Amino acid sequence: MSKNNINKVVLAYSGGLDTSVILKWLEDEYGCEVVTFTADIGQGEEVEPARVKAEAMGVKEIYIEDLREEFARDYVFPMFRANAIYEGEYLLGTSIARPLIAKRLVEIARATGADAISHGATGKGNDQVRFELGAYALMPDVKIIAPWREWDLLSREKLMKYAADHGIDVDFAKAGKKSPYSMDANLLHISYEGDILEDPWNEPEEDMWRWTVSPEKAPDEPAYVELRYEKGDIVAIDGKTMSPAEVMEHLNKVGGENGVGRDDIVENRFVGMKSRGCYETPAGTIMLKAHRAMESLTLDREVAHLKDELMPRYAKMIYNGFWWSPEREMLQAAIDQTQQVVNGVVRVKLYKGNVIVAGRKSDTNSLFDEAIATFDDDQGAYDQKDAEGFIKLNALRLRVAARRQT
């Protein structure tokens, strides 16, 4: 990429050491103006200090945005309508946040007349792919600067020295103390990688976890939660109407208090390597269990089975960064159509790390017919004699094959 053609860059900026160094590096290496974009997607930290730091570094155009509701409503909730889970365990907490950030980077680039966007993802991870695939899908000719793929500041010590040499105001007392884990947080989850977790045999230390108590220390009495669904989305908890972000905040709190949502995974990154990560996803763990319970009552059997067959493909699209792809949008349309009947209430019991379905009902869309399913006298609702022909027809090919083998 010709550095002469870059006059203005929009940087995904947290205000931390890495992105503060990137800000200065972009100005020095590309001789460009930097626009900063900081998103609040529920990471649980103040984002306004990023404005102060950006101003101190001379940034003139600063975007600080609260995207929690948009994130929950337009990204997390649609994903949970699909019951998406990657490789049977990962609830896609980091993956699903990247399309929204990529979208805003592109929108801000257009609004400010920027020539490029920039991010702080490394060349080893999935996030570089997610950010950039999203950006290219929304702005085909966008220029992208990924400093970690260009510079030689490949250690924390080098980053700190660069900051000191260039007068970048960071909290060196805090920065100088090596953070044991690489963490990412939003409304859906918090993730931990690195340090002792790089050896898959090592058990995570208890003081690593931030959102959840250990199941051993969770209350001895279960907590019950009632979730009301409309068209596949939770709209109320315990009778109180809530927005998507409020739903997630509430479930994170009650789930965390009861030890729900911890996971320890070795996953296959899109770039080819295996990676070990630990995750806390209290709200997502509850949402997945409860949504499947609601669907079990309201979805036709073949529709439910087809959804389950498509889900791993859908989850992989999100994990690999293809949220804005036509195939994901096609699947989303099909998934959303199935959710028209997913209406009702699910009651879950949270107990020492477990999410247990304690009840489910739908006054308008339940396909459960007690008159047919009963073990008592069904008054002729189901003729058991019909089963004989059903079985023989399904056994026909098996019987023909068996006769040939004798």
User: Can you say whether the dihedral through the CA atoms of 23, 29, 35, 38 is positive or negative?
Assistant: negative
Question: Strands 143-145 and 116-118: what pairing?
Answer: parallel
Query: Cα torsion at 92, 97, 100, 102 (round to 10°)?
Result: -100
Residue 238 designated active-site: no
- Burial per residue of 229-244, b for 16 or more beta-carbon CB atoms within 10 angstroms, e otherwise: beebbbeebeeeebeb
How many whole angstroms separate alpha carbon 61 and alpha carbon 74? 27
Residue 182 designated active-site: yes
Per annotation, catalytic residue among 40, 115, 127, 233: 127
**Both tokens of residue 368?**
């459960």
Residues in contact with 213: Cβ distance below 8 Å, sequence separation at least 6, in sequence order:
256, 257, 258, 259
**Both tokens of residue 226?**
């009632």
Residue 347 designated active-site: no
Residue 262 designated active-site: no
Per annotation, catalytic residue among 68, 81, 98, 262: 98
**DSSP secondary structure string for all residues of 36-56:** EEEEESS-SS-SHHHHHHHHH
Residues in contact with 378: Cβ distance below 8 Å, sequence separation at least 6, in sequence order:
371, 372
Q: Which of 220, 222, 211 is nearest to 262 (CA)?
A: 211
Per annotation, catalytic residue among 51, 156, 182, 296: 182
Residues in contact with 253: Cβ distance below 8 Å, sequence separation at least 6, in sequence order:
282
**Both tokens of residue 211?**
């959102």
Catalytic residues: 18, 98, 127, 182
